[in-house]
């Protein structure tokens, strides 16, 4: 049994590594959009469920344990091969779409085609992952009849969750930073190969099953029928999968303002979820030795109440602060109870449904995964955009209260198994329902933190515009994006003025408050702006009173899309491309707008003598990221210039395939049309255009000086996003 436990710890470790990295590789190939994320995660879960269901059917005939172990070894070997195959398959899909489907970009047909390709790519490998549960359950059923067999799913589930938590922590905090995505996949693939070899070797040392095995193992633990019918178990498995995964989507949006918009925050949420699930599963394994499954009635009321506890952690008015510092960890801890209860009840249901039968375990697990597919879709595309985080969490908790009520009041007046009175679960249900109503009534959404505000929600984010005058601010999921500053005006005016010929067309990637977009339009040129979040451009008018008239211009175009995907799928060229990646520079997937691969795409869309302006929004303290971006630009463009911003908060990088003459501030000022000149000095700090340009020109720094800040830093690439994975270098001062 210890062998099987260790197998599933390692298998869970690898599965989480694959899920995280495959999602990121898909983003690089097909775009960082909410639809793409949903497609990848849904297909991943669907593959797991399909593999569990089909393999469960194959295990109906109770094969010899040696055969099942060898089949398990084959599945692990194929999973290991996926570490090599999937990156190439995703790149091939991108190349095929670019070459043969240019007419369907930015359409539902595009997402259908990439969904089809991702399904073809991932489902076979994920099905191998899903098959491991019924395969090892078949071995346990044959080798360990009795208690261990009947509770075989929870035993493997416990190991799998522990491995998944380890995979989350190891990949995010160590492996990806040290090795990059590709080499981390190779580590996981090698571990799968070791599992495959170990399983095959072990298969030669297992004894054949005894003839009495089938008679010794009941198909279902009939104690479950005292509380829920067999059909109800499947319904509860579906609901628990839907609610738990849907809530994870809501938690990420609720807790990001307190934990930060960084990879480690999302990994921390997932790690806490998995570790708490492990604790709950371990508690179930201990509890079930002295209880019947029917004794769990009161746990459903506890689960329902635990589902609304995170409303307290997400409330901005709750005093989770110490000496002015936000205690994000305390807020995160409010999800632990729910996760632990889910870890307790999910394996309980699957043990009750399967009773050690691999076929039934496969079908039950598939139903649970089906709920896990539906949950994020319901939460992300329906609940969050329409009702907000607080109401979304309450609505997701509602099915749990319905289930808890039905179980508590089942067989009115009858005693529960074990001799307990049926009154106790009913009292608990009523008390916990009232407690949940109270928590909901006193809790607040994040925007209550801002007395003056305008709030928009969509499937991608909650966007808040707040403040007045020059104190106005834009927040996306609680992270401050930008404010009214001349820095965003320089992003457009500096490259446009440096062009040796009049510009005709420009592109701004990342809309923000719309300041760079507005400044580019003041030159009287055709201007396109792309933003990933639909609600961001909708708040343009909050920051600029002339927004409505500007948007009516035939020269203005606003597109909701991932900026990299937009360029990748476009045939247009631009004289100036302005890239203003959202802060912080450590934000997940932000490297896809700084990498060498992205700059190769940009070069294909620059007109002759065109200029790229990219903004690095950080202080000079993060030397490694600045040097990495400088190297990526220098590797991609023969001519690169850099200027520290007028407020010393970041760097303007300008890059071109042709020389950018060292023009004086007088020359640059002379090139601005009257409307552009007025726009440049609108917010100062100088009232004169020439002096305004002189301020920025005086802050030019040789690109070699930026590289010298961290000379051993590699050029930023898709495979090595050092700006996002920075913990070890910040601790040990790597690359200095």
pLDDT at 103 (0 to 100): 55
Per-residue pLDDT tens over the stretch 685-702: 999 999 999 999 999 999
The DSSP string of 485-501 is -HHHHHHHHHHHHH-SS
pLDDT at 447 (0 to 100): 92
Between the CA of residue 388 and those of 204, 257, 259, 402, 474, what are the distances in Å? 57, 15, 19, 22, 18
Three-state DSSP state, 158:
helix
Per-residue pLDDT tens over the stretch 224-272: 444 446 678 899 999 999 999 999 999 999 999 999 888 999 999 999 9
Tell me what the pLDDT averaged over the chain comes to. Answer: 89
Residues in CB range of 300: below 8 A, 6 or more apart = 345, 400, 403, 404, 407, 408
Is 56:361 a contact under the CB 8 Å cutoff? yes
Max Cα–Cα distance, the chain, nearest Å? 95
pLDDT at 230 (0 to 100): 66
Which of these ranges, 139-148, 154-163, 481-490, has the smallest mean pLDDT? 139-148
Give 35's pLDDT tier (boundaries 50, 70, 90).
Answer: confident
552-575 average pLDDT score? 92
Q: Assess whether pLDDT exceeds 50 at residue 141.
A: yes
Closest CA to 35 of 501, 458, 438: 458
- Residues forming a β-bridge with 509: 530, 579
Between the CA of residue 163 and those of 1, 505, 516, 652, what are the distances in Å? 16, 52, 46, 43
Q: Assess whether pLDDT exceeds 90 at residue 602.
A: yes
CB atoms within 10 A of CB 500: 11
Give 568's pLDDT tier (boundaries 50, 70, 90).
Answer: confident
Walk me through the domains of the chain, giving residue ranges and CATH numbers: 1-217 (1.20.1250.20), 223-269+276-449 (1.20.1250), 485-725 (3.40.50.150)
Per-residue pLDDT tens over the stretch 281-291: 999 989 988 88
pLDDT at 432 (0 to 100): 94
297-311 average pLDDT score? 93
pLDDT at 214 (0 to 100): 44
Q: Assess whether pLDDT exceeds 80 at residue 298.
A: yes
pLDDT at 649 (0 to 100): 81
pLDDT at 673 (0 to 100): 96
Per-residue pLDDT tens over the stretch 333-351: 999 999 999 999 999 998 8
Q: Assess whether pLDDT exceeds 50 at residue 217.
A: no
Per-residue pLDDT tens over the stretch 604-628: 999 999 999 999 987 556 789 999 9
Give 136's pLDDT tier (boundaries 50, 70, 90).
Answer: confident
Q: How far apart are CA 497 and CA 661, in angstroms?
A: 11
First to last CA, the chain: 48
CB atoms within 10 A of CB 584: 17
Is 217:351 a contact under the CB 8 Å cutoff? no
pLDDT at 222 (0 to 100): 40
pLDDT at 104 (0 to 100): 58
Q: Give the burial class of 545: count Cβ atoms within 10 A of its Cβ; 0-12 exposed, 13-18 middle, 19 or more buried.
A: exposed
pLDDT at 360 (0 to 100): 87
pLDDT at 195 (0 to 100): 95
547-567 average pLDDT score? 94
Tell me the angle at which helices 336-354 and 358-378 cross, rounded to the nearest 10 degrees.
140
Helix (H) or strand (E) holding 540: helix 540-543
The label of the residue with tokens 């515009």 reads: 465
Q: Assess whether pLDDT exceeds 90 at residue 215.
A: no
54-60 average pLDDT score? 88
Q: Which tops the pLDDT comparison, 1 or 10? A: 10
> For the CA atoms of 485, 488, 490, 492, what is the dihedral angle to 10 degrees?
-150
Which of these ranges, 54-68, 477-491, 659-673, has the smallest mean pLDDT? 54-68
**To the nearest whole percent, how much of the chain has pLDDT over 90?**
69
> The whole model's pTM is what?
0.90
574-584 average pLDDT score? 94
Q: Assess whether pLDDT exceeds 50 at residue 415.
A: no
**To the nearest whole percent, how much of the chain has pLDDT over 70?**
92
pLDDT at 533 (0 to 100): 93
Q: Assess whether pLDDT exceeds 80 at residue 423.
A: no
pLDDT at 119 (0 to 100): 95
Give 110's pLDDT tier (boundaries 50, 70, 90).
Answer: confident
pLDDT at 724 (0 to 100): 93
Q: Assess whether pLDDT exceeds 70 at residue 207.
A: no
Q: Which tops the pLDDT comparison, 560 or 419? A: 560
pLDDT at 149 (0 to 100): 52
């Amino acid at each position: 049994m210890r062998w099987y436990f260790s197998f599933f710890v390692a298998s869970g470790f690898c599965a989480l590594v694959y899920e995280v990295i495959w999602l990121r590789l898909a983003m690089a190939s097909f775009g960082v959009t909410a639809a793409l994320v949903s497609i990848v995660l849904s297909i991943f879960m669907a593959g797991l469920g399909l593999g569990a269901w089909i393999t469960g059917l194959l295990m109906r005939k109770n094969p010899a344990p040696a055969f099942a172990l060898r089949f398990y070894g084959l599945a692990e070997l194929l999973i290991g091969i996926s570490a090599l195959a999937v990156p190439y398959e995703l790149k091939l899909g991108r190349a095929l779409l670019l070459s043969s489907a240019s007419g369907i970009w930015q359409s539902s047909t595009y997402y259908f085609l990439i969904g089809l390709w991702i399904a073809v790519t991932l489902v076979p490998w994920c099905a191998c992952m899903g098959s491991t549960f019924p395969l090892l359950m078949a071995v346990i059923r044959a080798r360990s009849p009795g208690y261990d067999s009947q509770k075989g799913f929870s035993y493997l589930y416990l190991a799998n969750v522990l491995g998944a938590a380890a995979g989350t922590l190891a990949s995010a905090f160590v492996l990806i930073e040290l090795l990059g995505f590709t080499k981390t996949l190779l580590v996981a693939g090698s571990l799968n190969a070791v599992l495959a070899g170990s399983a095959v070797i072990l298969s030669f040392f297992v004894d054949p099953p005894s003839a009495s095995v089938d008679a010794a193992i009941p198909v279902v633990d009939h104690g479950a029928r005292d509380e829920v019918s067999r059909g109800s178990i499947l319904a509860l498995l579906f609901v628990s999968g839907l609610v738990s995964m849907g809530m994870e989507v809501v938690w990420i949006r609720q807790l990001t303002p307190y934990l930060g918009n960084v990879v480690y925050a999302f990994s921390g949420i997932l790690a806490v979820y998995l570790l708490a699930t492990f604790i709950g599963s371990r508690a179930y394994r201990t509890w079930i030795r002295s209880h019947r499954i029917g004794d769990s009635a009161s746990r459903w009321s506890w689960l329902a109440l635990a589902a609304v506890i995170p409303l307290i952690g997400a409330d901005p008015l709750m005093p989770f602060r110490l000496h002015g510092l936000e205690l994000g960890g305390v807020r995160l801890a409010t999800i632990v109870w729910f996760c632990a209860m889910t870890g307790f009840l999910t394996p309980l249901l699957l043990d009750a449904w399967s009773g050690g039968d691999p076929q039934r375990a496969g079908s039950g697990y598939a139903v649970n995964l089906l709920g896990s597919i539906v949950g994020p879709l319901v939460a992300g595309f329906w609940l969050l955009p329409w009702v907000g985080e607080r109401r979304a969490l309450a609505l997701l908790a509602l099915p749990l209260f319905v289930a808890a009520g039905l179980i508590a009041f089942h067989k009115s007046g009858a005693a529960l198994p074990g001799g307990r009175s049926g009154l106790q679960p009913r009292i608990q249900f009523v008390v916990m329902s009232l407690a949940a109503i109270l928590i909901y009534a006193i809790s607040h959404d994040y925007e209550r933190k801002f007395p003056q505000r305008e709030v928009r929600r969509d499937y991608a984010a909650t966007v808040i515009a707040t403040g007045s005058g020059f104190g106005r601010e834009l927040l996306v999921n609680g992270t401050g994006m930008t404010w009214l500053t001349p820095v965003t005006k320089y992003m457009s005016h500096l490259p446009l003025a440096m062009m040796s010929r009049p510009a005709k067309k420009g592109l701004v990637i990342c809309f923000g408050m719309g300041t760079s977009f507005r400044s580019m339009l003041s030159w009287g040129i055709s201007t396109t702006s792309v933003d990933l979040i639909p609600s961001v451009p909708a708040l343009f008018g909050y920051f600029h009173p002339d927004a409505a008239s500007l948007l009516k211009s035939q020269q203005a175009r606003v597109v909701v899309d991932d900026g990299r995907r937009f360029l990748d799928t476009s045939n247009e060229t631009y004289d100036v491309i302005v890239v203003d990646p959202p802060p912080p520079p450590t934000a997940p997937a932000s490297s896809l707008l700084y990498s060498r691969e992205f700059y190769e795409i940009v070069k294909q869309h620059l007109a002759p003598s065109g200029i790229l302006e990219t903004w690095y929004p950080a202080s000079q303290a993060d030397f490694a990221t600045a040097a990495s971006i400088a190297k990526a630009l220098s590797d991609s463009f023969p001519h690169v210039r850099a200027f520290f911003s007028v407020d010393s908060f970041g760097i303007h990088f300008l890059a071109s395939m042709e020389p950018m003459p060292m023009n004086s501030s007088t020359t640059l000022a002379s090139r601005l049309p009257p409307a552009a000149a007025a726009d440049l000095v609108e917010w100062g700090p100088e009232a004169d255009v020439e002096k305004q340009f002189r301020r920025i020109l005086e802050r030019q720094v040789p690109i070699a000086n930026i590289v010298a800040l961290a000379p051993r830093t590699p050029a930023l690439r898709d495979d090595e996003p050092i700006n996002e994975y920075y913990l070890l270098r910040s601790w040990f001062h790597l690359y200095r």
